[in-house]
Structure 1
Amino acid sequence: MKKYSTIATICLALLVSGCTKLDQEFYSSVTPDTFFKSEKDIKAALFRPFTHAKWYLGEDRWRLQEYTADNFAVTTKGRHWYNGGENERFHYHRWTPDDNWIWESWRGTLMGIALTLDAKSDLDKLDYTKFALTAERKAADLAQLDALVAFFYLRGLDYFGGMPIFESLEQESLPRNSDQELFDHTEKLLKAAIENLPAKKADDKEEGAIRKAAAAAMLAQLYFNAESYIGKPMYAESRKIAQDIIDKVYGDYALDSKWNGVHGFKNNLSPEIIWSMPSEFKKLEYNWFYADFYHYNTRQFFDQDMDGNNGAHLTPSRKPNGALYTADFKLGAPFETFDKGDLRKAPYVYHGTDQYDGMFIVGPHKTPEGETIVGGEEYNGLPLNFVDQVARFSDVGPKKKYSSIDQLPSKMSEGEENTGIRLVKVPIPNLANNELRWGADLPAIRLAEIYYILAECNYRLGDKQRAAELFNAVRKRNFANNVDPNPVTAASIDKYRILDEWSIEFIGEGRRRTDLIRWKAFITEEWWDHKPSNATHLNRFPVPNKAIAGNSNLTQNPGY
C-alpha cells in the first residue's frame, strides 16, 4: 500500500470544485500491479493530473492575473458585487495573505505537483513491456509528467517566488526554496523533458499531450521572465528557443490564417496550438468565465439557457462624458487599443453551425431575432446597452443624485448593470447547436505567443526591425485581406506599443499581470481607477496564512 505524505493527503482531501475528487480509501488500497490492466489504464493515470492543469488555468489563477491588471475589473453594481471589498482590494493592489484567490492558487499549485508526482511514481514502477510498450514510450510518458510538474512550478514561481520543491510524495512540511533554486529546478525538469518527449507528428491525435515544443516553449517562458524571477535577464536564451520553435526544430507548427482559428469551435485542428486542454460540453469547462462576465439576461442574446452573474468587464476606455482615457493613461482602455477594422473588435454574432463574428458584447443588447433585451436592476424593464464606461448614469436627472453627466465619478464602486464591454473569447452557440457549447479547447501555449516572445526579445536585444516584422506577421490576419492599417514599425515600437500588442492578441488569456511585471509596469504605472504603489513586494503574492498555519517551516514573502 502506498504511503501518503502531507502534500498528498492534504492536497487530495482539499480538492476544489472543478476537479474530480479522489476517493482516499480506494486510492490507498490500489497499487500499480493491481490497477494497470491495459494501455488505456496507463493513459488514464498519465492524464489524470492534466485535468487539474485545465482547472488551474482558469478561475482564481486567471483572476489573479487579470483583475489585478489594467484590462479587466469587477465593479460594484448597485447592490451587487461588492463582495466584502474583495474586487476592490485586488484592483487597488491591497490584497492580504487571507484572500481566498491567493490561498486557492497556492493550494492549487501544490495539488497539481502532488497529483503529477503520484502519477509519475506509479508509472515509473510499471513494466511497460507487459503491455507491448517500449522503453522509449515509458520515457516519453515520464517526461510529460516532468514537464507538467515544471508547468505548475513555473506558475508558482510567477505568483509567489520560491516554493517548497517536492521531488517525491515521501517528503512533507518542507520549507520554501529560494527563487533561484525553484528557477533551477524548473529549468532542469524542462531540459530533461525536452530530451525524451517526441515531436508532434502530422498524425498525432492525442489532444492535450505535452510534446517537445510545449516543453521548449515553457523553457522559453522561464527565460523570458527570468529578470522578474531571479533578477537576471535571459532574453538571448529565450530568443534562441523561440526561434528554434518557429523554425520547426521541435515540431511542425504554423500561425493560423484566421483570427479565430485558435479559439473557435474546431480549434483542435489549428496548426497554431502547441499545447491545449481538451474540452467538451458536458464538462462545463468555461462556466466560471460565463458566470463572471455575462448579464443575467444575456442568455437571450446567446439564445442559451445559462444565467450569468454580471460581474466582470473590460476596464473603460471612456470617461462618463465620452472622452477617451488614452490621453490620461498609457495602459488600460483595452477596447480602444484595438484598431478600427480589427475583425475581433466587432460585436459578437453567432451565425449558426460553427460560424461567428467578433468577440465583444457592446452596445444595444438584442436577441438573435433583433428583439430588445431589458435590464432587471437600474434599467428594470428598459433596454440594456453595454457601454465602454463606468458610472452611475441611472443616477443622473431631476431629483436624482447628480444633475449632469459631468458630475459622475468613475471608479470601482460606481458600476451599474450595463457597465462595461464583455469579452466573448470562447464562442458560444445557440441551443440549436448546443453540442458545440464549450467545444473549443483551451489553448495553453500557441505559436503566436512564441512569435511575440521572439519579437520582444529582439527588441530588447536591439533589433527593432525584426521585432516589428514578427508582431506584424501575427497582426495581419486580424484585418480584411490581411491589410493592417497600423502595423508596428521600427520607428514606432516601444515599451507601450509592445504592451499594447500583448494586450490585444492575448486579451483574456490569463497573462496580463506577468507581462506588466516583466516591463516593470505593474506597480509603477497608472490606469483607470488605479494609482501606482511603487511597492516592489506586490510583484509577488503573499504566502497564504492558511499555508503557514499548516506548515510552520514556511516563511512569508517580504512586505506582507
Structure 2
Amino acid sequence: MKFKTIITDLCIGTALLTITPSCTDLTENVYDQTVTANYYQTHDDVIRAFLRPFEHGFWSITSTYRLQEITADQIGTWERDGWWYDGGQWERLHDHTWGLEGGEADIITGCWNGFFQGIGQCNSVLEDFARLDPVQYGFTTEEFDALKSQIHVMRAWFYIRALDLFRHLPLVVSFSDQSQNTSYQLPPKEIFNFIETELLDALPLLPLKEGNSGNGVNQGQWNQGSAAALLVRLYLNAEKWIGEARYDDCARVAQEIIDGKYGYYALDEKWDSPFDWNNETSNEVLFAYTSSYGYSHWHMTSDMYWWGLPSNAHYYFGFTDWGGMNPGRGVQPGHDVDGNLYHFDLGTPIPKFQKYPEDVRLKKYVNLSGTSQREGMFLYGYLPYADGSGEHVKSPVGDYPIYLRDQVGKFGNTEPGTVIDDKESSVTHGDMNSGWCCVKYPIYRDDDPGAMESDYVEIRLAEIYYSLAECKFRQGDVTEAGKLLNTVRKRNYPEDTWTEYLYQPEGKVQLTEGELLDEWGREFIDESRRRTDLCRWNKFSSSTWWDKQPDADNHTDIFILTQKILGANPDLKQNPGYPDIAR
C-alpha cells in the first residue's frame, strides 16, 4: 500500500467540530469538553484540525456526482428488471422535474448541506488558527500561513461548486460571529468576487509543486497550481454564472499553468495514468483526494463508481473483497432496441467515441497479466468470469447471461442481434443488459497491490488544455484551439492515423461548436462535470437526448431549493421558476 500522508493522519485524528445541517446555524457542539481552549496541545492536533475539511470535501463529491451526471446526456440510471426505479427519483433527475420533496430532493439537500457544512468547518479552523501561536506548535510562520491559505482555497472550492449548482447563496465567513454572515442570499456576482479574492489572496502563500514526479506525499494538498486551476474553472464559467465573460482571464491563467509558472505539470503518455493506482506520481494531476483500500475511498462507494458497474461484474474483475456490484448507472444508449443509431445532437456517447474507431479507450476493460495493469475504459458484450471457466456473468434477476449493449430495453435472455417485439427504450424500461459501463478508475484483482489504491482526481492538466482551447475557440482562433485539443487527443489514437483523427490543421477533422462539446464529453466522461459543460454552452435545458425533451425554459440550469433547505432558514428565497414553500 502506498504511503498516504493526509488520509493516514486524518484517520487517526479526532474531528474537532460538528456542524449542523443549516447553513446559517453554525453553533459549535462541544463533546467531552474538547473545545478550542484545550484541544490544540500538539503539532499533530493542528494537523488533524487542518485535515477535517479535506475529508469532508472528499465525501461531498458523492452527491455532486449524481447531480452532475444523471441530469446530463452521458450517464443515466434506468429501471432494470424491477431494480432502480426507486420511486421515480432517477427519472425526475433525468427529466429535470425535480421537486421540493422526494428522493431526488434529498440528494439536492445533501449537496447544499455538504457545501455549507464544509464551509463551516473551514471557517472554524481559520478562526482557531488565528488564535494560535505557530511557533508553540512547531510551525514556522511560512508553514502556518500555507496551512491557512489551503483552508481558504478549500472554502473557495466549496463555494465554486455551490455557485454552479444553486447560484444564489448566503455568504458565510465566520463560525462564531453570526454578524459577519448573511442569512439571506447575495447576488451571484458578489459570491463570485468573494471566491476570486479568496483564491488570488491565497495563491502566493501556497507552496509550489516540487519536482517532476507528481505530487507524491503532498497529494491531497492545495498548492499554487491547483488553486490557479480553480481560477480557470471560475473564469471559464463566469459568463454563465454572473453574465460577464472572463475568457481572457481564463486563457491567461491556463497558459501560466501550462508554461510551468506554478510548478511542473505535464500530460501523461497514456490516458489512464492519471486514474491509476499510483497516480500520486502523475504529473497530469493538479489536485486529487488521497484514497486507499484501507482508508477513505468515497469515489469507489455505492453513490459513485461501485454502483456504476454490472451486477456480479466483481467476478469479471476478480475483485470480490467488497461484495457485489450493482448497475445503478450506465452509459446512455446510442442505439434503439433494433440497433438503429439515434440522431440527437447531444447524448449518444458511445457512437461519438466510435466516430474515431481506433480510440484505445474503446477497448473492453480487462485486467492484464501481471499486477496492477489494465487496458480499455468500457465494459460491453459478455463478461466472462475471472476464474477461466468460460462461463459468463449472469443477471441476479432471471439468471440470464448478461450481454451489455449500447441500447436500453427489455432484452432478457435473447441472443445478441435478436430482434425483440418490445420496442420501448426509456428510463423506466430497461434490464441488466442495457447500456455499456464506463470504468475510469481500475478495479484490480483481490490482493493485487494496486487494488482500490487510485486517488480521486479532482483536477488534471487535460482540463487546463481544454479550457484554454475553449477560450481560443470562443475568441475565433479555431486553429489554435484544435492544436491544444490535439495535444491531449494524440495519446488516444495510433500515430499513423492522426491525419484522419486530429483537428485541423494537424488533421482533417473540422472543429465546430458541436464537436468541441462532444470532445469535452469524450475526454471527461463520468468525471462529474458534464452538466456544468452543457450549462456553459446553454445546452442543458434546451436540448434533446435519449428519452429527454427540452425543458420549458432554462430555470432548471440551477437546482431547486428543497423543502428541507428552505425550512431550515426562513430568510432564503426560492430559486426562480420553482415553487416556494408555505411561509
Please name the residue that 2:455 is paired with. Answer: 441
Instruction: Tell me the amino acid that sits aligned with residue 91 of structure 1.
Output: H
C-alpha change, 1:237 and 1:318, in structure 2 (3 Å) is same
Helix, strand or coil for the counterpart of 1:139? Answer: helix
Please name the residue that 1:282 is paired with. Answer: 294
CA drift of 1:27 comes to: 7.2
Helix, strand or coil for the counterpart of 1:276? Answer: strand
Helix, strand or coil for the counterpart of 1:405? Answer: coil
Please name the residue that 2:336 is paired with. Answer: 319
Please name the residue that 1:247 is paired with. Answer: 259
The 5 A counterparts of 1:258-269 are 258-269=270-281
Q: Does 1:56 align with 2:60?
A: yes
Helix, strand or coil for the counterpart of 1:77? Answer: coil
Q: Does 1:105 align with 2:116?
A: no
1:376 and 1:220 mapped to 2: Cα distance? 44
2:82 and 2:25 mapped to 1: Cα distance? 32
Please name the residue that 1:371 is paired with. Answer: 390
Q: Does 1:146 align with 2:152?
A: yes
Please name the residue that 2:78 is paired with. Answer: 75
Q: Does 1:214 align with 2:217?
A: no
CA contact (8 A) 1:109 1:156 kept: yes
Instruction: Report the TM-score when normalising by structure 1.
Output: 0.91
CA contact (8 A) 2:316 2:393 kept: no
Please name the residue that 1:18 is paired with. Answer: none
Please name the residue that 2:543 is paired with. Answer: 525
Q: Residue deviations 1:89-119, cap 9 Å, x none?
A: 0111111132111100011110110111111
1:522 and 1:141 mapped to 2: Cα distance? 38
Deviates more, 1:34-43 or 1:505-514: 34-43
C-alpha change, 1:370 and 1:290, in structure 2 (3 Å) is farther
C-alpha change, 1:467 and 1:411, in structure 2 (3 Å) is same
CA drift of 1:79 comes to: 1.3
CA drift of 1:430 comes to: 1.0
1:115 and 1:279 mapped to 2: Cα distance? 21
1:515 and 1:148 mapped to 2: Cα distance? 22
Q: Does 1:29 align with 2:34?
A: yes
Helix, strand or coil for the counterpart of 1:9? Answer: coil
2:406 to 369, 377, 388: 388
CA drift of 1:297 comes to: 1.3
C-alpha change, 1:515 and 1:482, in structure 2 (3 Å) is farther
Please name the residue that 2:4 is paired with. Answer: none
CA contact (8 A) 1:387 1:418 kept: yes
2:46 and 2:198 mapped to 1: Cα distance? 22
Please name the residue that 2:326 is paired with. Answer: 309
CA contact (8 A) 2:203 2:228 kept: yes
- Where structure 1 has 5 or more consecutive residues not aligned to the other structure, the ranges are 16-21, 398-402
C-alpha change, 1:227 and 1:370, in structure 2 (3 Å) is farther
1:220 and 1:89 mapped to 2: Cα distance? 32
Q: Residue deviations 1:462-509, cap 9 Å, x none?
A: 111110000000001122458534112267111111111111111110
Identity rate, percent = 34
2:174 and 2:535 mapped to 1: Cα distance? 32
CA drift of 1:43 comes to: 1.9
Please name the residue that 2:139 is paired with. Answer: 133
Q: Residue deviations 1:407-430, cap 9 Å, x none?
A: 512111110111111111110111
- Where structure 2 has 5 or more consecutive residues not aligned to the other structure, the ranges are 1-15, 579-583
Please name the residue that 2:504 is paired with. Answer: 489
CA contact (8 A) 2:24 2:569 kept: no
Instruction: Tell me the amino acid that sits aligned with residue 570 of structure 2.
Output: S
Q: Residue deviations 1:509-531, cap 9 Å, x none?
A: 00000000001100111111111
CA drift of 1:378 comes to: 5.4
Deviates more, 1:349-358 or 1:60-69: 349-358
Helix, strand or coil for the counterpart of 1:499? Answer: helix
Instruction: Report the TM-score when normalising by structure 2.
Output: 0.88
